Structure formats: structure tokens, C-alpha cells
Amino acid sequence: MAEEKLSVRDAVSDTYKYGFTTNVASETAPKGLSEDVIRFISAKKNEPDWLTEFRLKAYRHWLTMAEPHWGMIAYDPIDYQDIYYYSAPKTATAPKKLEDVDPELLKTYDKLGVPLQERAALAGVAVDAVFDSVSVATTFREKLAEKGIVFCSISEAVQLHPDLVRRFLGSVVPYTDNFFACLNAAVFSDGTFVYIPKGVRCPMELSTYFRINAQKTGQFERTLIIADDDSYVSYLEGCTAPQRDENQLHAAIVEIVVMNNAEVKYSTVQNWYPGDKNGKGGIYNFVTKRGLCKGVNAKLSWTQVETGSALTWKYPSCVLAGDNSRGEFYSVAITNNYQQADTGTKMIHLGRGTTSTIVSKGISAGHSQNTYRGLVRMGKGAENARNFSQCDSLLIGGSCGAHTLPNMVSANPTASVEHEATTSKISDEQLYYCRQRGLSAEESVSLIVNGFCKDVMQKLPMEFAIEATRLVAVSLEGSVG
Amino acid sequence: MSAWLEIKDLSAKVGEKEILKGLSLSVGKGEIHVLMGPNGSGKSTLSNVLCGDPMYEVTGGSVTFKGKDLLAESIEERACDGIFMAFQRPVEIPGVTMTTFMKYALNARRRAAGLSEMDAVSFIKRLKIRAKAFDISEEMLKRPVNVGFSGGEKKRMENLQMAVLEPDFCILDEMDAGLDVDAVKVAGAGVQIMRGPERTFFVISHNIGFLREQIKPDFVHILVGGRVVANGGTELMDEVEKNGFSRFYKEA
Ligand SMILES: Nc1ncnc2c1ncn2[C@@H]1O[C@H](COP(=O)(O)OP(=O)(O)O)[C@@H](O)[C@H]1O
Ligand SMILES: [Mg+2]
């Protein structure tokens, strides 16, 4: 009898299971990484053969590489076979309404002043439930298309602009570059593609669209930006509100190509889940960002405000190949609780008269570890090239660490490299002074920290800067007693 | 009924060092009090203890302010209740402009009072009118808090903050010390502009000319060895001017 009952139940659940499995089987690749999985991803995206080959080559090379461990970050080994490398947007598991979203997350949005209609999108509510997002995105794209600007997902670009993608994909960050970049080349899910034609100044900050699509770009994001001769674009990545994300490992690539007299400003606010107060959970963020200033007078400016992730391993870099090209790196990295950040930049001066500026502000609180790691390399041809670096660390409390590891290499005697570094603490006198005026301890810390970061915050586009200021306050919550 | 501000047998220490040793003082609303006493007698310590500086540990006594137990409140609660200190050596806060700083402070106090935050336009108006009164240029308001200011400029800025925040109990710790002749002449401007029936001042100074000409106090107290040893009017200033603190040492 018992046996019969069981089989009836099995039969019932099987229909469910099969119905469900069929559905899932077509949307999700099996766990782990293999050539089959990569072919599956490529097929799902309907990719041309050259791209499938690109992915497979990367995968085969990745198998020969070892995970790097030179960063000042400690973590349990990552099991790469225990990760899903492809799954379609999980509409079924996403909250349907704003009311279904974790109230804690909503409280944070409130503190950050995120507009109501954007909160749903950030919290991962199914897109069709989000206020007007689709039409906003469409109007936005039409306006850009008038100028010949291409701004779309990289998957779309592969279909619509295969020549551009094929020419530039991997041209700045080759798949052989490093372990995580190689993994990304094999499995990248989606990301953004931007092409600014010759002589065009992009009339708006490229950000809104990205926001709306944010929950679709997965953990292996890939971004490619090409600024043709005499063009200009300001690109904003991410947003200041924390995003709902179950993926722990993130390995993204951003590649930028800047042609003659063109300028690209790339601003990031990274606020992935940092883990809880005790260091449990949180995103591992291993990112390779690099721009090639290919043309003369090309200019690339990275501005980043990093407050999220349990681990950050990220060095947005500039290869200054074109004569008189210029690279800039403005960074704020805040770590609290048990976060670990190893971040900085590389300025590779190849052309004559190339210049670069590095301004890094590291803030450590709680039990966190915050490392600035930089490289300034003056190549043989870097005649009269100049670099200036300023690296400041601010400590809050006595249990955190700040480390500054600048590295300078010069093969050209006419090139000059200047480096300044400071380490300071928020003093009891400063806190007392602010509180005596009526500010709470937390408001005081956030005001002092924002003052400390001012030089970098000023580089952010206006609206972003206001949000980032609020973000500083949120990310330092609980850092003073 | 206790006074507006009632300090009773207050004792406080730093580490193992006892500084205030049973200090008592009654202060009414709308009064101007001068605290005098030899160096090290505890004038600054008393001021900081009233503000809640965590450096000092209160070991005994009580303080009631507007009927409330002041010592139970946090630094910012006391500030929002109306206590303000013009510091002798105001600290620097790099990267934060004076304007931003004062706007944050004012709005924190308004929130605590259940008022809406003041918008940028109204705030700037309020700030500019008051800056003029202390001869503070717009350029100075854009500079970071106390960074690179001269001694005189710092004091003017403390005065300005007092005028912007409109506290009702103001402590001025050696507002005139270390200033050149011209700067001393305007150091009392804050008291002169803001004195009134709703506001009480504690003025700490050694400079009797300054006190007499600019502060014109109602009451004078002499502190020696962490205690108030004499209470009176301006006649106490005259006595100190003539004979120093010698008589009071004996009383201590
Ligand atoms: N933070 C401190 N650490 C150690 N000693 C202190 C501290 N603050 C004050 N004192 C000591 O307490 C005594 C009173 O100081 P203070 O209140 O500054 O006197 P006044 O302002 O009357 O000159 C002095 O002996 C001084 O050295
Ligand atoms: Mg003193």
C-alpha cells in the first residue's frame, strides 16, 4: 500500500517536475564550467562562431591559469564548479510588487533618497511591474540614435554591430590578461556597449538606461566603450542603492578605447552587498577595468566610489599610448565591518608628453582592511611624461588597517613621477566639535569623511555626487559608538 | 525650584586627576556671568563637562538645565537643548566648508526641535546677514572649517556660528586670548549682538579691560582649585585687577 501511495505522489509531482524542468532546462545551464556549458551560453545568445571560439579559447586558457593571491584579501577558496554560469532572468523568483521587497532594503533606499519609481527596479521587482521603465528606456535610445550613438547591451551589439565588437572585444583586456578576466571572456553574461562616432559629443550622461537594465546584467558583466576621434562621453556605472543580488562571485571586465582627441569619463559607484556586521556573506568583486588612450590627446578619466562588496579587487587602468594623452584616476574606497578592499590603478605611459593624475582616498572603519595598490610605469618612449599621485588614508577606530603600496617604474629619464601619501585618523576633538554643534556622532563621521573625499567627490557628475555623499553616511553606519 | 542652570557639588576627573572638586553655581536666564580664576583652576574643564566632553568623567554632583538632568544627555542633545561653546582652540575639519558645516549643524538642531530643515536659500540669507556683522567675507565662508584661519579669524568664526545657531546658553572660553589689539576689540561682538532676556552667557577671560568694556557682566565668579570660591558683581573684577587671586587662594 505504502508503495502505491508513494508512486501516485511521484506521478503527480513528476508532471510538475517535468513541466518545470523542461522550462528550466531551456533557461539554465547545469552547474559548473565545461566546453558544453560555454557552447550552451553562446547558443542561447545566438552568437556567431567567432564569438563562440573566442569564449572557448578563453576557457581553455583559463584551465591553465591559477587564481591570483597577491592581493591583501583573504577568503575561503572559490569552487568554480559550484556556480551557475548562465541563467535567464529569474522573473519567477523576483518579488512581484514593491510591498514584497525586504523592508530593510527599502529603508536604505529611503535614506539614500532614491526616487520612488526607481526603487522597484533596484530591488529586482520584475521589470514589467516597474513604473514606465520601458518607455523611458526607449525614448532615451531614440534620442541617442539620432546622433549615431550606439548604446545597447553587448549581446545586442554582437547581433547589430558585429564588426565593431569583433574589432575591439579583448583588444584592451585580452583573455590572457588575468585569471578573472579570462573567466569573464569565457562566460560573460551581458553588459553594455557604447560607440560614440567621430566628432560627436554625447548629449547626456549615459546612466538611466543602465539603471533600468541593471538587474539583467549578471555577475560576469562585460562592457565595451569606444570613443571615436574628437568625441566625448560621460558614462555612469551602477547606482548608489544596494542591489538585490544572490550571486557571490563577480568577475567583470570594462574595456575602453579612446581615439584621437576623444574624451571618456567613466564614473562608478559600487555598492554591492558588503556582508553583514560579522563579515558573513557579501559579494566578491574581481574586476578588470582598463582603457586604452590610443589616439593623440586622448583623455580617460576613472572616478570611483567603492563602498560595497565583501572583497574588492579592482585596478582601473589607463594605457597612455597616444602622444599627449592623459589618464586620471579619482577614487574613494570605504571599508567597514569585515570588508576587504585591494584597489588602485595602473598608469602605463607609452607615448610622449603623456600625463596622469591619481587621487586615492581610502577610508577604513570597523575591522576592515583597505589597500591602495598602484603602478606608474614610464615606458622608454614616454618622453617628458608626468605623473602625480596623492594617496590619503583615513582610519576610524583602532581595529582596521590601511595600506599604501605605490609602485613606480621608469625607463625614461625625462619622465617625472611624484607621489604623496598621508594617513590620518578622525580625532576625538573633531568628533566633539561637531557634536557640540548638534550633529550626531554618525553625522559627524560622515561629514568629516565627505570632507576628506571632497577632491574625488567633486569629480563625480553633480547628481551622482549628492547620492554618493548620502552613501558615505549609510556605509559608515555603526562605525562609531 | 532650581535655577535655570543649577550646578551642585560637581566633581570631575581626567584619568586619575581630579579637577573639579565639588563646584556649585546658580545661573539664571538672560544673565551674563564671568568666570575668572588662575590658570589650571578648572574653568575650561567646567565648560567641557557642561558640554559633555567624554574626556572628562563626572564623579559626583548634579547639573540641572531647564529642569532637566543635563548630565544624562549626550553631547548633541545638550547642544540641541541650547548649549554652545565657543572654543578656545577650534579644531580643523579639512574639506568641509564653513557654510556646509553650519548648515548641517543648524538643520540637526532644527530636526531635534521638530522643525523642518531650512532650505539652502533661506540658510544662505541667514548666514550672510550674520557674516557681515562679524566682518566675515564670502570667501572665508567657502574655506574649510578652521583650516588656515588666523587666531582672530577663528574667533570670529566661533562668534558667527553662535549667531547662526542661536543657542540660549553660550560659553565663551578665552575669546580674547592670543589676539592682537584690533582683534580683541571685536572679540566681544557676539555677546554684544546677542545679549538679551532669553540668552545666558558664561564668559571666561583674564582680560579685565575686555570684560569691562565689551562684556559688561551681571555676575562674576572666582574659581580656584576646582571650586567656586567667590560670587559677586563687577567689584570682584576690580579686586582681581588690583590684587590678583591671592585672597581667593586663602579661601580655597
Ligand atoms: N585632558 C586633560 N588631561 C590631563 N589634564 C587635564 C586635562 N584637561 C585639564 N587638565 C588639567 O586640569 C587642570 C584644570 O585645567 P583647565 O580646566 O584647562 O583650567 P583653566 O581653564 O582654568 O586654565 C589643569 O591642571 C590641567 O592641566
Ligand atoms: Mg582654560
Portion 418-447 of A in contact with B at CB < 8 A = 427-430, 432-441, 443, 447
Of B13, B14, B223, the residue with max ligand 1 atoms within 8 A of its CB, to mutate for a pocket test, comes to B14
Helix %, strand %, coil % of chain B (to 5): 40, 30, 30
Mean pLDDT of chain A: 82
Q: What is the per-residue pLDDT for A286?
A: 92
Domains of chain B: 5-251 (3.40.50.300)
Residue with cell 539614500: A112
Residue with cell 560595497: A308
Of B17, B18, B53, B224, the residue with max ligand 1 atoms within 8 A of its CB, to mutate for a pocket test, comes to B17
Residue B36 Cβ inside 6 Å of ligand 1? The answer reads no
Q: How many Å apart are CA A61 and CA A176, to the nearest integer?
A: 7
User: Which ligand is the nearest neighbour of the Cα of B89?
Assistant: 2
Q: Which of B55, B75, B106 sits opposite A436 (nearest CB)?
A: B75
pLDDT band at B81 (very low <50, low <70, confident <90, very high): very high
In chain A, residues with a C-beta closer than 8 Å to the C-beta of B104 are: 439, 443, 447
Q: What is the per-residue pLDDT for A78?
A: 86
Q: Quick one: which of B57, B52, B67 has its CA closest to B5?
A: B67
What spacing in Å lies between the alpha carbon of A332 and ligand 1's midpoint? 39
pLDDT band at A467 (very low <50, low <70, confident <90, very high): confident
In chain A, residues with a C-beta closer than 8 Å to the C-beta of B165 are: 437-438
Q: Which residues of B169-195 are buried (b: 16+ CB within 10 A; e: fewer)?
A: bbbbbbbbbebeeebbebbbbbbeebb
What's the angle, vertex CA B179, arms to CA B177 and CA B183, rounded to 5? 125
The residue of A431, A436, A459, A466 whose CB has the most chain B CBs within 10 angstroms, and thus the best one to mutate to test that interface, is: A436
Q: Is the minimum CB–CB distance between B109 and chain A shorter than 8 Å?
A: yes
Say whether pLDDT at A138 is over 80.
no
pLDDT tens column, B145-154: 999 998 888 9
Contact A436 B51 (CB under 8 A): yes
Q: What is the per-residue pLDDT for A97?
A: 63
Residue A201 neighbours by CB under 8 Å, 6+ apart: A231, A232, A233
Residue with cell 563625480: A460
Q: How many Å apart are CA A48 and CA A137, to the nearest integer?
A: 27
pLDDT tens column, A189-226: 878 899 999 999 998 888 744 443 444 445 788 999 99
Question: Could you report how far apart the first and last alpha carbons of chain A are, in Å?
Answer: 65
Q: How many Å apart are CA A182 and CA B82, to the nearest integer?
A: 61
Say whether pLDDT at B226 is over 70.
yes
- What SS3 class is residue B251? helix
User: Which ligand is the nearest neighbour of the Cα of B50?
Assistant: 1
Residue B39 Cβ inside 6 Å of ligand 1? The answer reads yes
pLDDT tens column, A56-70: 999 999 999 999 988
Average pLDDT over residues A364-374: 92
The least confident of A22-26, A156-160, B182-186, B201-205 is A22-26
Say whether pLDDT at A1 is over 70.
no
The residue of B14, B96, B149 whose CB has the most chain A CBs within 10 angstroms, and thus the best one to mutate to test that interface, is: B96
Q: What is the per-residue pLDDT for B7?
A: 96
Q: Quick one: which of B174, B214, B176, B221 has its CA closest to B194?
A: B214
What are A474's strand-pairing partners? none
Q: What is the per-residue pLDDT for A90?
A: 47
pLDDT tens column, A426-460: 999 999 999 999 999 989 999 999 999 999 988 88
Q: How many Å apart are CA B10 and CA B25, to the nearest integer?
A: 9
Q: Which three cell numbers stand for residue A276?
A: 553583514
Average pLDDT over residues B231-238: 93
pLDDT tens column, A5-16: 433 333 333 332
What spacing in Å lies between the alpha carbon of A369 and ligand 1's midpoint? 37
Q: How many Å apart are CA A316 and CA A374, to the nearest integer?
A: 10
Residue B17 Cβ inside 6 Å of ligand 1? The answer reads yes
CA distance B108 to chain A (A): 6
Say whether pLDDT at A143 is over 60.
yes
Ligand 1 atom at shortest distance from the alpha carbon of B223: 22
What spacing in Å lies between the alpha carbon of B43 and ligand 2's midpoint? 6
Q: What is the per-residue pLDDT for A11?
A: 34
DSSP code of residue B215: I
Mean pLDDT of chain B: 92
> Higher pLDDT residue, A271 or A289?
A289
The least confident of A122-136, A252-266, A305-319 is A122-136
Of B45, B57, B173, B227, the residue with max ligand 1 atoms within 8 A of its CB, to mutate for a pocket test, comes to B45
8 Å CB contact between A276 and A337: yes
Q: What is the per-residue pLDDT for B40?
A: 94
Q: What is the per-residue pLDDT for A211?
A: 42
Say whether pLDDT at A342 is over 90.
yes
- What SS3 class is residue B174? coil
Residue A460 neighbours by CB under 8 Å, 6+ apart: A267, A269, A303, A305, A468
Q: How many Å apart are CA A170 and CA A184, to the nearest integer?
A: 11
Q: Which three cell numbers stand for residue B233?
A: 558683581
Ligand 1 atom at shortest distance from the alpha carbon of B19: 12
Question: Could you report how far apart the first and last alpha carbons of chain B are, in Å?
Answer: 28
Q: Which of B51, B84, B96 sits opposite A451 (nearest CB)?
A: B96
SS3 letters across chain A: CHHHHHHHHHHHHHHHHHHHHHHHHHHECCCCCCHHHHHHHHHHCCCCHHHHHHHHHHHHHHHCCCCCCCCCCCCCCCCHHHCCCCECCCCCCCCCCHHHCCHHHHHHHHHHCCCHHHHHHHCCCCHHHCCCHHHHHHHHHHHHHCCCCEEEEHHHHHHHCHHHHHHHCCCCCCCCCCHHHHHHHHHCCCCEEEEECCCCECCCCECHHHHHHHHHCCCCCEEEEEECCCCEEEEEECCCCCCCCCCCEEEEEEEEEECCCCEEEEEEEECCCCCCCCCCCCCEEEEEEEEEECCCCCEEEEEEEECCCCEEEECCEEEECCCCCEEEEEEEEEECCCCEEEEEEEEEECCCCCEEEEEEEEEECCCCEEEEEEEEEECCCCCCCEEEEEEEEEECCCCCEEEEEEEEEECCCCCEEEEEEEEEECCHHHHHHHHHCCCCHHHHHHHHHHHHCHHHHCCCCHHHHHHHHHHHHHHCCCCCC
Q: What is the per-residue pLDDT for A120?
A: 58
Say whether pLDDT at A326 is over 50.
yes
CA distance A435 to chain B (A): 5
Cα A410 to chain centroid distance, Å, stands at 30
User: Which ligand is the nearest neighbour of the Cα of B172?
Assistant: 2
Residue B250 Cβ inside 6 Å of ligand 1? The answer reads no
Average pLDDT over residues A416-423: 94
CA distance A455 to chain B (A): 8
Write the DSSP string, B76-135: HHHHHTTEEEE-SSPPPEEEEEHHHHHHHHHHHHHHHTTPPPPPHHHHHHHHHHHHHHTT
Q: What is the per-residue pLDDT for A27?
A: 61
8 Å CB contact between A422 and A363: no
Q: How many Å apart are CA A458 and CA A212, to the nearest integer?
A: 25
Say whether pLDDT at A238 is over 60.
yes
Residue with cell 578648572: B42
Residue with cell 553650519: B102
Q: What is the per-residue pLDDT for A145?
A: 87
In chain B, residues with a C-beta closer than 8 Å to the C-beta of A452 are: 94-95
8 Å CB contact between A235 and A267: yes
pLDDT tens column, A281-294: 788 889 999 999 99
8 Å CB contact between A249 and A261: no
Q: Dihedral of the CA atoms A190, A192, A198, A200 (nearest 10)?
A: 160
Q: Which three cell numbers stand for residue A245?
A: 543580488
ipTM of the complex: 0.96
Residue B55 Cβ inside 6 Å of ligand 1? The answer reads yes
Q: Which three cell numbers stand for residue B152?
A: 582672530
Residue B167 Cβ inside 6 Å of ligand 1? The answer reads no
pTM over 0.90: no
pLDDT band at A104 (very low <50, low <70, confident <90, very high): low
